[in-house]
Amino acid sequence: MTVDVETETEIEIARPRRQVAAYGCDPGNATTWYENIKSVEWETAPPAVVGSRIAFVAHFLGRRIAYTYEVRAMTPGEHFVMSTAQGPFPMETTYTWQDTADGGTRMTLRNRGVPAGFARVGAPMMAAAMRRANRKDLLKLKQTLEAPQ
C-alpha cells in the first residue's frame, strides 16, 4: 500500500514565494518548523543542491527514526524534492510553492512512500498521523515566517 499525504497539507503564508521557498528548502531550518525533527546533520557541504545528502533524526509515533535524505530535484522558488530509501518506510518529500493573488505564497508539503515489513500493517494510521503532523508543521512555518522581524 502506498502512503501519499498531500491532501490538506498546504498553507498560505503572507510572505513572498522566494522568501518562503528559501527558508523551507534549507534543511538547516528544519528543527525550527518541523516538530518531529530533532537534529539535522549535513553529509555534504551546504547549501542544498541536487545530490546533497542530509541526515535527520526524528521522533514519530513514539519511535526514534534516523534517515538520510538525498536531494533529488529542485527549481529554486518552485519545488524541492528529497527522498530516502532507508528504514521501514522509504519516503519522498516534495515541497512546492506558488504565488497567491495577494502577493503571498501557497506552500504544499507532500510525503509519499511504500511502507515495508511491519510498517505496511499500520500504513493507514501512519498516513493519518503524517497528515496531522504536516498540518502542524506548515502552521509553525507560517507563524515563524510571518512573525514580526
Over residues 125-142, the pLDDT tens digits come to 777 888 888 999 999 999
Domain boundaries, the chain: 3-146
Kindly state the average pLDDT of the residues 51-64: 90
Residue 40 has pLDDT above 90, yes or no: yes
**Long-range contacts of range 84-92, CB-CB < 8 Å, 24 or more positions apart?**
88/115, 88/116, 88/117, 88/118, 88/119, 89/3, 89/113, 89/115, 89/116, 89/119, 89/126, 90/114, 90/116
CATH of domain 3-146: 3.30.530.20
Give the residue carrying C-alpha cell 547549501: 47
Three-state DSSP class for 63? Answer: strand
